[in-house]
Amino acid sequence: MAIKDRVITAVERLRKANDEYYSLEFDTDSGQVLNPGASEAQLVDVERRLGAPLPPSYRAFLELHNGWLEFSGEAMVLPTDEHDKPWVVKRTKRFHDHIREFEKTNLLQHAFFVMMGEGEPNFAYFDKAKRSADGEMEVVYWDLVMGDLGRYPDFAAFLEAQATSMERLVAAKK
């Protein structure tokens, strides 16, 4: 399956599972918002911040959706213009400080954050030191309380894993 098709399928599965879960668990709408796609100028700006070409699966996502609000609780897949916002800069510093203090590692040395929320303990980032021959970067999903929640070879695999996890929660609720 082509990378863009994988992303489209994963997004649709996860969006649907999130909606179902919120309906079953809270009798409310999930509140998630998939923004319209990013412009080429916005993609170039993210590449500048990343210091490298965008991983193909992440580029495909951003071309389709420039961010995903309420992706996981209040955490969002960051829109292209959100990376330099004061709250993101502050939150990024807190993640770095926490990891150095409690994990005694420089785990985030090569991190480029793609998912976080102002009050959420979980986040996801690209490990820029782990780039494959096809241009993809490993996605690390981390929680400040539980630690490493998973590592995925690309952004599409991260979305697929999130969709599978939510689909299991929905099935358990039914």
CATH of the domain at 127: 3.40.1580.10
Q: Residues 38-47: what's their mean pLDDT?
A: 97
pLDDT of residue 100: 82
What gap in Å lies between CA 172 and CA 174, rounded to an integer?
Answer: 5
**pLDDT at residue 105 above 80?**
no
Q: Residues 96-113: what's their mean pLDDT?
A: 81
Domain of residue 32, residue span: 3-173
Helix (H/G/I), strand (E/B), else coil: 83 = coil
pLDDT of residue 13: 98
Q: Is 18 exposed, middle or buried (0-12, 13-18, 19+ CB in 10 A)?
A: buried
Cα-flanking dihedrals φ and ψ of residue 126, to 5°? -85, 135
Report the number of distinct structural domains present in the chain. 1
pTM of the predicted structure, to 2 decimals: 0.95
